[in-house]
Structure 1
């Protein structure tokens, strides 16, 4: 019988590949997988404790409570929406997807993560800005537009408030300091 596992820190396609390997190693047959969620069937040799250990050793974590599951799903949705550029009415669309009010989602997220949903989203966007700057394919105005900022000066202010430096100064750094998506809070 299929079981659904919610997994913390799955933020990219490489994470999916790693998690697939771990489930196979622990004798689970994966029926479906997406960021943060795996549907799998255990066989006689499967051990949930070993699975949890293997996941933890690789930087992932099995989630076993409803609040943590919802918070992780919110994170995955935000990352996906930022990656795909679907940021129009971002919090409203999240609330609709999860069947909660924006306020309820925000309070739940803040209580669990110690940071507001808005601040977390800004942190995700700032890391995306750093990625765009490193790729060098877009100018600052194009980056602002891609990330749904009204003006490039608004993005510039947020970037400076968050990192302590201008986007130009960041662009000129010899070594860029980026956080991985699973380390953003």
Structure 2
């Protein structure tokens, strides 16, 4: 039996984990660990080979990453998503990333820009816009509450950025419920 870890780009939801887990299990491979950004598989080379494993990963629209830069970039992306969706946003993003990734913010930021051709701040803004759309659709919070939840000191800052990015006001979005972008497609 061989145990092998694969770093995977684009895996950011529990449904993605379930799909990969089911497909690997169907081949006879035993999933030892599966979480955002990686999967560890135990398999018999007599029954399944590495190319089949790679076909499952690529066939489900994921990408295997091998370079340290891409791995750090994906790790940074996951922490930014965690920050926007699961933290109270009381600390600034750079401090949050530096406290969760064992690198200086300068290294993290430069690497992110090189790998994704955009800044961390731009990516975080796009995530906040998608989170705003989601919160509007849920209908539990008013616009001011959404702004405060996303770390804005007032509604006007969020409103301005929302309109600049989507081309419509938050009110227009609420009335029409426009299109949302899946998190793994934000660029």
Q: Considering the TM-score relative to the shorter chain, is it more than 0.5?
A: yes
Aligned match of 2:150: 147
Aligned match of 1:28: 29
Q: Hey, what's the Cα distance between the residues in 2 that align with 1:91 and 1:184?
A: 20
Structure 1 gap segments, 5+ residues each: none
- CA offsets per residue over residues 104-153 of structure 1, 9 Å max, x none? 21111111111111100110110010111111111111111211122111
User: Is the CA contact 2:128–2:150 (under 8 Å) kept in the aligned structure 1?
Assistant: yes
Aligned match of 1:46: 48
Q: Secondary structure at the match of 1:118?
A: helix
User: Is the CA contact 1:124–1:181 (under 8 Å) kept in the aligned structure 2?
Assistant: yes
After TM superposition, the structure 1 stretch with the greater mean CA deviation from structure 2, 20-29 or 120-129, is: 20-29
After TM superposition, the structure 1 stretch with the greater mean CA deviation from structure 2, 141-150 or 1-10, is: 1-10
Aligned match of 1:9: 10
Taking structure 1 as the reference length, the TM-score comes to 0.92
Aligned match of 1:114: 117
Q: Hey, what's the Cα distance between the residues in 1 that align with 2:79 and 2:28?
A: 29
Offset, 1:22: 2.5
Structure 2 gap segments, 5+ residues each: none
After TM superposition, the structure 1 stretch with the greater mean CA deviation from structure 2, 86-95 or 11-20, is: 86-95
- CA offsets per residue over residues 27-69 of structure 1, 9 Å max, x none? 3211222111222222232322222222212111111111111
Q: Hey, what's the Cα distance between the residues in 1 that align with 2:96 and 2:25?
A: 35
Aligned match of 1:70: 72
- Aligned Cα RMSD in Å? 1.6
Q: Secondary structure at the match of 2:41?
A: strand
Q: Secondary structure at the match of 2:82?
A: helix
Q: Hey, what's the Cα distance between the residues in 1 that align with 2:29 and 2:76?
A: 26
Q: Hey, what's the Cα distance between the residues in 2 that align with 1:64 and 1:26?
A: 23
Taking structure 2 as the reference length, the TM-score comes to 0.91
Offset, 1:86: 4.1
